[in-house]
């Protein structure tokens, strides 16, 4: 299983992603600088990590969404590759159009950072097969702009197509319909605000994130 992590100026979870992928796949991921790096065509999974790309100027993920590497990310997704966007990565995926909707300021206008209970709403995806459906897990969150919004038609489509993968238990940011993570129409692109790479059994104190990476290994 070959993986890669895209690094933007302001990324601060790229090393967490690197450690999680190395630990769970047994293979060192390729670290790709957004401006002059290349995503190898035989890459199975590309991870777009959390952080504050370009200092969150203009709009979270907006500048990164126009980075030179994005055309390669789009090509990777179009040929059936897997993509995992976490926190700022989720914001970037929405900015690129790989996922619908947008992430805006938390309803309380405060940064939230804590372990967060989630419900696995769909365990029949390449990212969640290691979890039992409707089970509750704990994954850390750390964001100021994690309030997921979309128009009603988009929200209804996500619900009808089973593309809502994670929901908050006790909504911390005002996200529409408690949405914490969604997948693309083909099920191969996942965006989520919580950080599974920070819950793999190291110093973080939790292990509920391992299931996501185990699911991907099994799928790939």
What CA–CA distance (Å, rounded) separates 74 from 54?
Answer: 20
Catalytic choice (13, 60, 87, 94): 87
**What are the C-alpha distances in Å from 115 to residues 79, 100, 147, 183, 202?**
35, 26, 17, 22, 15
Q: How far apart are CA 63 and CA 34, in angstroms?
A: 11
60 is an active site residue: no
Number of residues in the chain: 220
The single residue listed with the structure tokens 């994670």 is 166
| Joined tokens for residue 47 | 């991870």
| Residue 155, helix vs strand vs coil | helix
> What is the CB neighbour count within 10 angstroms for residue 204?
17
Q: Classify residue 51 by its DSSP letter.
A: B
For the question of residue 34 being annotated catalytic, the response is no
Q: Which positions ≥6 away from 48 have C-beta within 8 Å?
A: 6, 73, 83, 84, 85, 86, 88, 89, 92, 93
Catalytic residue among 34, 95, 143, 197: 197
Burial of 139 (0-12, 13-18, 19+ CB in 10 A): buried
Is-catalytic flag, 143? no
Catalytic residues: 87, 195, 197
């Amino acid at each position: 299983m070959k993986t890669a992590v895209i690094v933007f100026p302001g990324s601060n979870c790229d090393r967490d992603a690197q450690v999680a992928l190395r630990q769970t796949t047994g293979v060192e991921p390729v670290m790709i600088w957004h401006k002059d790096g290349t995503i190898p065509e035989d890459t199975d999974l590309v991870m777009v990590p959390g952080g504050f790309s370009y200092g969150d100027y203009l709009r979270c993920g907006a500048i990164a969404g126009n980075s030179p590497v994005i055309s390669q990310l789009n090509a990777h997704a179009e040929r059936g590759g897997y993509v995992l966007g976490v926190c700022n990565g989720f914001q970037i995926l929405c900015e690129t159009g790989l996922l619908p909707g947008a992430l805006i300021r938390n309803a309380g206008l405060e940064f939230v950072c804590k372990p967060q209970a989630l419900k696995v709403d769909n365990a029949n995806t390449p990212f969640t097969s290691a979890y039992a459906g409707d089970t509750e897990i704990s994954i850390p969150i750390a964001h100021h702009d994690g309030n997921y919004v979309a128009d009603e038609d988009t929200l209804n489509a996500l619900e009808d197509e089973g593309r809502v993968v994670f929901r908050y238990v006790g909504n911390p940011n005002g996200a529409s319909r408690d949405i914490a993570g969604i997948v693309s129409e083909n099920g191969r692109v996942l965006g989520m605000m919580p950080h599974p790479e920070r819950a793999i059994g190291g110093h973080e104190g939790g292990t509920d994130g391992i299931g996501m990476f185990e699911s991907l290994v099994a799928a790939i």
